[in-house]
Amino acid sequence: MKKTILSFILLTVCHLSWGQTFELRLLNHWDNPNGTVERGYAGRSIWKWDEIPANKKSMPQALKARYEEYGRINQQYGINGTVLNNVNAKPIALSTPMLLKTKKIADILRPYGIKVYLSVNFASPKALGDLNTADPFDPKVQQWWKKKADEIYRLIPDFGGFLVKANSEGEPGPMDYDRTHVDGANMLAAALQPHGGIVMWRAFVYSAKGGDRANQAYEEFIHFDGQFADNVIIQIKNGPIDFQPREPVSPLFFGLKKTKMMVEFQITQEYTGESIHTCFLAPMWQEFFQTLKMGNASHPALAQNGSPVLPNLIGIAGVANIGDTPNWTANDLAMANWYAFGRVANDPTTSSQEIASDFLREYYGTTDEGFIRPMTQLLLKSREAVVDYMMPLGLHHIFAADHHYGPEPWCDRKGWREDWLPRFYHRADSIGLGFNRTDHDEPCLAGNAGSNNVGQYPEPLRTLYNNKETCPENLILWFHHVPWDYTMRNGLSLWDNLCYTYDRGVRQASDFVKTWEEMKPYITSERYEQQLRRFQRQAKDAQWWRDACLLYFQQFSRRPLPPDSPAFHYTWEQVKNYHLRMDNYTAADIDKLP
């Protein structure tokens, strides 16, 4: 890959000049101080905190070289910032010894135009400062954060700022003291403001209060629009649930008019097959921008040069898929998503086809169309194939609870909240399937009132999603509880369409194996064999997903497979009792998978 550095630089210079470029183009590492990576599937963290000296000793040469290469790649991809640690932040990240180590990383990345940021734990004043509170209204807490900011900027003058996950999934936050998101974010912003730092405050919030989880971020943040400090940016996941293979755009992007925002994508494949399955994510991200433009069609800024980016959407973050494996992402084709993120961050209007073909030429160092053409098509088909064999037609959140890798729509854990269970989302019953998020009743056994999630969307999306007849069929089960015998636009029933869609995904995954086998003459035998094992596993997993989901939903539909749908490869007993022990390996080592 080093041989292609110059061509990457030339490519980056070209695409930086195209269309709308985000001011902030950041990687978010979900890396922990102990070297593990949350939702990381390429080995352990590249940040070797135990090997980085906190004193005047120089960085070990091997680490320095690795971080320099990381900086070069990000510069080439057009990325200008990196958050080093997990949003589930440990207070130790702000300790003086860790900040001295962070300074060494910042010094290495600075020549490549990469600013360093840190995720912070809101309760750090209690953990590190000998205070008995983290109340943002307490003057001692405010002073603690100001002194900590001063310390950071003495060490790292160009430090970017803080990323904060607060009052979400058990993380501490201002609501612990009956304060608001505004109170917490603005207190941190005041500490950073003299230094030019920013606060990226995540909007990923959902509580146990009940109701539709897809509604909660909007409900919690919409009333604060215009109240955040100028150096606060609300970081919002692309969809309203949690990085599902397909989601509609989070309605919060349409609701916040006076607040700076940035979108958070997930480069690491938490819900799309980890680093084993090939799933090129550029089409997903461009789908987001296309829908954003549709929902804001009347906004004058969107009429200029066809840009899909609003003036107050100033940043883009990607949860990194990087680890300490030699090829960074444990799967050569997963590298395409790191590359694609940089391209999309610099110009959301660039076509997925252009991004895919450019990546293949540069990464594999070939211009042979015998390789480029079929592999470009494979990448372009891969995301839709994953949706088809995992969660088609708007199904979501039906993965295995422990690892998010395989299917478990039947999951029922004693003591778990209802909104942690798949049945909360798929709502399968003898009448039909899907979550009613409309403003009206729909037929189902467990109550038929809609959550009115559609009411959070502007026109024309509100009307489009609210009606089964107009709702995009790739989202129909997201917004509607649809009867099994409902006639879809191709004239077939929902059940038959569900079966055929799963079948199509399985066929596509099998075709990927055949396509890759034809690529053998173009690459080294080692790279060929490594990728072949992944494609073979993807095809096996596609069959597992298809059989598990259809066997489960068949218990509700009580309908046979369509006549031309293949027989099940697995039995219900087999899929119900098949459990992966994901704690025994990382996906970087595919050979350990059973």
361 shares its domain with 398: no
CATH number, domain containing residue 101: 3.20.20.80
Q: Which whole number is the average pLDDT over 312-324?
A: 97
Q: Which whole number is the average pLDDT over 512-541?
A: 96
**DSSP designation for 591:** G
Hey, which residues does 482 pair with through a beta bridge?
433
For position 586, what pLDDT does the model report?
A: 56
Q: In this structure, is residue 148 part of a structural domain?
A: yes
245 shares its domain with 204: yes
CATH number, domain containing residue 426: 3.90.1330.10
Q: State yes or no: pLDDT of 306 exceeds 80.
A: no
Alpha carbon of residue 530 to chain centroid: 25
For tokens 């900027």, name the residue.
153
- End-to-end, the C-alpha distance of the chain in Å comes to 32
Q: State yes or no: pLDDT of 490 exceeds 70.
A: yes
| Percent of residues, the chain, with pLDDT higher than 90 | 86
For position 402, what pLDDT does the model report?
A: 79
Catalytic status, residue 270: yes
579 shares its domain with 439: yes
Residue-wise pLDDT tens digits, 356-396: 999 999 999 999 999 999 999 999 999 999 999 999 999 99
pLDDT band, very low/low/confident/very high, at 96 (cuts 50, 70, 90):
very high
For position 542, what pLDDT does the model report?
A: 97
Catalytic entry in 169, 369, 412, 518: 169
Burial class of residue 513 (count of CB atoms within 10 Å of its CB; 0-12, 13-18, 19+): middle
pLDDT band, very low/low/confident/very high, at 20 (cuts 50, 70, 90):
low
239 shares its domain with 319: yes
194 shares its domain with 286: yes
Domain count, the chain: 2
pLDDT band, very low/low/confident/very high, at 594 (cuts 50, 70, 90):
low
Range of the domain at 272: 2-365
359 shares its domain with 457: no
475 shares its domain with 332: no
Q: In this structure, is residue 385 part of a structural domain?
A: no
CA dist 336 and 329 (Å) reads 10
For position 588, what pLDDT does the model report?
A: 57
Burial class of residue 584 (count of CB atoms within 10 Å of its CB; 0-12, 13-18, 19+): exposed
Q: Which whole number is the average pLDDT over 342-360?
A: 97
207 shares its domain with 288: yes
pLDDT band, very low/low/confident/very high, at 262 (cuts 50, 70, 90):
very high
Residues 6 or more apart from 174 whose CB is under 8 A from it? 122, 135, 136, 166, 167, 180, 181, 183, 184, 187
344 shares its domain with 216: yes
360 shares its domain with 405: no
Q: In this structure, is residue 23 part of a structural domain?
A: yes
Q: Mean pLDDT in the chain?
A: 93
CA dist 542 and 545 (Å) reads 5
Q: In this structure, is residue 314 part of a structural domain?
A: yes
Dihedrals phi, psi of 544, to nearest 5 degrees: -60, -50
Residue-wise pLDDT tens digits, 186-245: 999 999 999 999 999 999 998 877 789 999 999 999 999 999 999 999 999 999 999 999
Question: Which tops the pLDDT comparison, 486 or 416?
Answer: 486
Q: In this structure, is residue 370 part of a structural domain?
A: no
Q: In this structure, is residue 513 part of a structural domain?
A: yes
pLDDT band, very low/low/confident/very high, at 460 (cuts 50, 70, 90):
very high
Q: Which whole number is the average pLDDT over 112-140?
A: 97
Catalytic status, residue 242: yes
Q: Which whole number is the average pLDDT over 57-79?
A: 97
pLDDT band, very low/low/confident/very high, at 43 (cuts 50, 70, 90):
very high
Among 2-11, 231-240, 431-440, name the one with the lowest average pLDDT. Answer: 2-11
349 shares its domain with 407: no
Residue type, 174: P
Q: Which whole number is the average pLDDT over 440-461?
A: 93
109 shares its domain with 159: yes
Question: Which tops the pLDDT comparison, 401 or 588?
Answer: 401
Question: Which tops the pLDDT comparison, 2 or 167?
Answer: 167
Residue type, 341: F
For position 15, what pLDDT does the model report?
A: 40
Q: In this structure, is residue 379 part of a structural domain?
A: no
211: tokens are 């109701």
Q: Which whole number is the average pLDDT over 15-32?
A: 79
pLDDT band, very low/low/confident/very high, at 296 (cuts 50, 70, 90):
confident
Catalytic entry in 135, 171, 270, 332: 270
Q: In this structure, is residue 374 part of a structural domain?
A: no
432-433 and 482-483 beta bridge pairing = antiparallel
Q: Which whole number is the average pLDDT over 34-58?
A: 95
Q: State yes or no: pLDDT of 3 exceeds 80.
A: no
DSSP annotation string for 271-307: TTTTTTS----HHHHHHHHHHHHHHTTT-GGGGSTT-
Catalytic entry in 242, 402, 429, 511: 242
